[in-house]
Structure 1
Amino acid sequence: MTSALKLTLGPLLYLWQTERWRDFYFRIADEAPVDTVVLGETVCSKRLHFMESEMAAVVERLEASGKEVRISTLALVTLDREAKYQRSLADGDGHLVEANDLSALQALKNRHHTIGPFVNVYNGASAKVLARNGATAICLPPELPSASIGEIAKSCPEVALELFAFGRVPLAISARCAHARSKGRTKDNCQFVCDEDPDGLPVRTLSGQPFLALNGVQTLSHSCQALIEEPTDTLSLGISSLRLSPQACDMVAVSDLFRRVADGRMPPPEASRRLREIYPEAPLSNGFHHGRAGAEWIARQRNMEGSVQ
């Protein structure tokens, strides 16, 4: 890697109380070595009011620190008011909008925008269609193996590509809220119980093994994807940016580790060791990138053998 590789902080997928949300982004603005920050609610429209009162202050603070700000759309639109909200983002104040649902594409047609990891871009033809619609950058789905990533980059060089490099992997989203139901509530009367689990609610097998996490209407992986031991892969695949998805840990320290590896100032194995210390709540994984089961961890020093640590 070289310093040509940029870092993007993706939207916060969890529900945090307003003050915690604001203070998190203020610290990101002041201390995190990221180039771009994606703001906004992606998972559940009912959460929007938690950030609305502080959004302008957060945007101002981030931009004053030299960071580019993008605004995320919802990943699932099921109501008229949600469709209206999507259109209002497209007609917004000049910030690039990140489309995370196909319903946003018509409103964004012929306007510069970006594509988030919730849109299934599995081949170069899909990337080209999105580029013709106005997309300037695409964060590829986190389950794509490196071979597919390379093919997309070759066939669609006009679009900047981004990899989902850190965070629990978003696996599914539903119109129903399993998180609320797990706590004896309904989606319409959830009372925002998801704020009790700021890093997701663990889902365990009958034998007690954690394997998923709930986040409102969203299902995430239990393991945390971490593409920090792929220093020669990333740029050679045609990737221009790595996406860090906020977790309930020190994201300034996480972004600093990725920045150090990208700049060649820290060996990747050392960085992954430190990453486990910063975020011990979930095992690290990179299996998807290597064409294996997503929850696996492929150690860098043994990649050539395809062995698992």
Structure 2
Amino acid sequence: MNDCKPTLTLGPVLYLWEGEKWRDFYFRIADEAPVTHVVIGETVCSKRLHFTDPYFPPVIERLVAAGKRIVLSTLALVTLERESQYVRGLVADSPYPVEANDLSALALLEGEPHWSGPLVNVYNAATARLLGRRGASSICLPPELPASSIAEIISGTPGVTFEVLAFGRMPLAISARCAHARAKGHIKDNCQFVCKDDPDGLPVKTLDRQSFLALNGVQTVSFTCQALLSELHDLNTFGVQRFRLSPQDCDMVAIARLYDEVLHGRMDPEEGIARLRQVYPAAPLSNGFHHGQEGAAWVARARNIGHGATT
């Protein structure tokens, strides 16, 4: 495996934030966060575009002026004709690379340089090579992959840049129905945008009141927050070139700075984990998928990734 210079990517905001909050978040990212790439755009629900559309031009202008590289995200589930038209227009008109989050977008992007997002199931090197031949220059691998699979996929797929989700609640499923609206007594067609009341997702508890998952509109995410800090060096050795930070309702500039410090050896991973828990106390940290365990598990002081870990 080859060492390569690692960088940070900021993924799209998956939650519904008020337009001004969304705008100010990206303004601060532009001015202060040590990320090289910013993926921006609506991924979860097309109805949310109403909140963010007016702020796209000034946000992109600010990010570009700060030297950030822009990537535009597509919807993860297209169910309506207007959504199909939206994705087609995005692919046809975007002056920036587009990140595909479902197969319909991949079909539209065939032959053009593009990104493949973490919602596209890439579970083996054959799939990664196929996407590469179709034009994918970058692939963000799904968060449920263990380290051994990540290493195997990268070693078997030359010429593609690979990325992993290093921070954030993990995207698990997306549906044509909105459980978030139903949980608050509404239906999808008259949801009244209740998801904006939960800017970090709506926690779901089991019958014995244990936190389990979180709802984000039509999307289901993990209750725990994936945090790969002790694993960064080994992943970079495998060939992972970019590490994705998925925005949560916390100080993401502080998160980006913390990951940058650990990534470039200026902070010990254990110290980074302790600080991460302070910056984002809303959910327990997890890295279980990465170590071949249940996703909600936390494997502490992990070493020898891919060959077992000590706790």
Query: TM-score, normalised to structure 2's length?
Result: 0.96
The one-letter amino acid of 1:14's match is: Y
Q: d(CA) in 2 for partners of 1:106 and 1:200? A: 31
The reply to whether residue 198 of structure 1 matches residue 211 of structure 2 is no
- 1:81-124 deviations in Å (ceiling 9; x for gaps): 11111111111231000000100112111111100000000011
1:56-135 equivalence runs, <5 A: 56-135=57-136
Aligned to 1:48: 49
Q: 1:8 to 1:305 in 2, by over 3 A?
A: closer
- 1:41-62 deviations in Å (ceiling 9; x for gaps): 0000110111110101000000
Aligned to 1:252: 253
Aligned to 1:22: 23
Q: 1:260 to 1:77 in 2, by over 3 A?
A: same
| Per-residue deviation, 1:79 | 0.8
Q: Say which SS state the counterpart of residue 204 (structure 2) adopts.
A: strand
Structure 1 unaligned segments of length 5 or more: list them: none
Aligned to 1:139: 140
Q: d(CA) in 2 for partners of 1:212 and 1:19? A: 28
Aligned to 2:263: 262
Between the aligned residues of both structures, percent identity stands at: 61
The one-letter amino acid of 1:306's match is: A
Q: d(CA) in 2 for partners of 1:302 and 1:246? A: 27
Q: d(CA) in 2 for partners of 1:305 and 1:291? A: 9
Q: 1:296 to 1:49 in 2, by over 3 A?
A: same
Q: d(CA) in 2 for partners of 1:28 and 1:293? A: 32
Aligned to 2:309: 306
Q: Say which SS state the counterpart of residue 189 (structure 2) adopts.
A: coil
| Per-residue deviation, 1:307 | 4.6
The one-letter amino acid of 1:29's match is: A
CA contact (8 A) 2:4 2:237 kept: no
1:222-261 equivalence runs, <5 A: 222-261=223-262
- Greater Cα shift, 79-88 or 243-252: 79-88
Q: d(CA) in 2 for partners of 1:240 and 1:165? A: 12
Q: Say which SS state the counterpart of residue 48 (structure 1) adopts.
A: helix
Q: d(CA) in 1 for partners of 2:8 and 2:258? A: 11
Aligned length: 308
Q: d(CA) in 1 for partners of 2:73 and 2:41? A: 5
- 1:6-38 deviations in Å (ceiling 9; x for gaps): 100000000000000000000000000000000
Structure 2 unaligned segments of length 5 or more: list them: none
- CA RMSD of superposed structures (Å): 1.5
Q: Where in structure 1 do 4 or more consecutive aligned residues deviate above 4 Å?
A: 301-305
CA contact (8 A) 2:102 2:119 kept: yes
Aligned to 2:222: 221
CA contact (8 A) 2:137 2:161 kept: yes
Q: Say which SS state the counterpart of residue 232 (structure 2) adopts.
A: coil
Query: TM-score, normalised to structure 1's length?
Result: 0.97
Q: d(CA) in 1 for partners of 2:179 and 2:245? A: 25
CA contact (8 A) 1:230 1:300 kept: no
CA contact (8 A) 1:10 1:38 kept: yes
Aligned to 2:184: 183
Q: 1:305 to 1:135 in 2, by over 3 A?
A: closer
Q: 1:301 to 1:132 in 2, by over 3 A?
A: closer
The one-letter amino acid of 1:217's match is: V
Q: 1:156 to 1:199 in 2, by over 3 A?
A: same
- Greater Cα shift, 84-93 or 37-46: 84-93
CA contact (8 A) 2:4 2:239 kept: no
Q: Say which SS state the counterpart of residue 71 (structure 2) adopts.
A: strand
CA contact (8 A) 1:3 1:263 kept: no
Q: d(CA) in 1 for partners of 2:64 and 2:309? A: 43
